[in-house]
């Protein structure tokens, strides 16, 4: 489970961080520009819609990043468990549940994306297509599923010790 899989997952994580950083920049710029529009009473449509749309990649792709970093709520239980077999069992259960969760929501995200594409729905202020945030919902869940699959593979191929040291399973 080392080599190309770790390289692939690290590149995926790098892509996710670029998407989230760009999303945050769009949010900051849109909010700042929206404040200027209101303050100076400019005859420009409200760009706050772009900040709302930018929340979609930040939320869903960011949640995939959290699953990669093992920064979800189940980590608290896993870290506080005293028994190594309980920690391993909890880690396995969490990895499986994350895969199920992300697969179900990826399917729902795809359905929403397809519907938005077919209907051509747009948001009100700037006319941003609804398929843009729906696409990031789907992509984020696919990324989370990929991280869950890699986590399961690590669990099967590698043995984690209580100190966090990873040893190759024999």
Write down the domain spans for the chain. 4-168
Region of poorest pLDDT, from 16-30, 58-72, 106-120: 58-72
pLDDT digits 0-9 by tens, 124-139? 888 999 999 999 999 9
Q: Would you place residue 26 in the very low, low, confident or very high pLDDT band (cuts 50, 70, 90)?
A: very high
Residue 162 has pLDDT above 60, yes or no: no
The whole-angstrom separation of Cα 129 and Cα 43 is: 22
The whole-angstrom separation of Cα 20 and Cα 10 is: 15
Among residues 160, 157, 151, the alpha carbon closest in space to that of 12 is found at 151
Q: What pLDDT score does 75 carry?
A: 66
Q: What pLDDT score does 11 carry?
A: 95
Residue 71 has pLDDT above 80, yes or no: no
Buried b (16+ CB within 10 A) or exposed e, 64-103: bbebbeeeeeeeeebeebeeeeebbebbeebbeebbeebb
Q: Which residues contact 106 (CB under 8 A, 6 or more apart)?
A: 138, 141, 142, 144, 145
Residue 161 has pLDDT above 60, yes or no: no
Residue 3 has pLDDT above 90, yes or no: no
H or E element in which residue 127 lies: none
Residue 144 has pLDDT above 80, yes or no: yes
């Amino acid at each position: 489970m080392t080599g190309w899989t770790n390289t692939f997952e690290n590149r995926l994580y790098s892509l996710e961080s670029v998407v989230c950083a760009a999303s945050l920049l769009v949010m900051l710029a849109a909010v700042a520009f929206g404040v200027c529009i209101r303050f100076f009473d400019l005859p420009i449509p409200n760009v706050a819609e772009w900040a709302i749309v930018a929340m979609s990649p930040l939320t869903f792709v960011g949640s995939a990043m959290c699953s990669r970093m093992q920064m979800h709520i189940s980590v608290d239980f896993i870290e506080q468990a005293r028994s190594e077999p309980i920690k391993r069992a909890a880690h396995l259960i969490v990895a499986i549940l994350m895969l199920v969760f992300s697969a179900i929501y990826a399917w729902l995200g795809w359905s929403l994306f397809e519907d938005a594409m077919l209907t051509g729905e747009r948001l009100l202020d700037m006319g941003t297509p609804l398929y843009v945030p729906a696409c990031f919902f789907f992509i984020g869940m696919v990324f989370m599923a990929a991280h869950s699959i890699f986590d399961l593979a690590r669990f099967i191929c590698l043995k984690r010790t209580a100190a966090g040291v990873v040893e190759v399973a024999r």
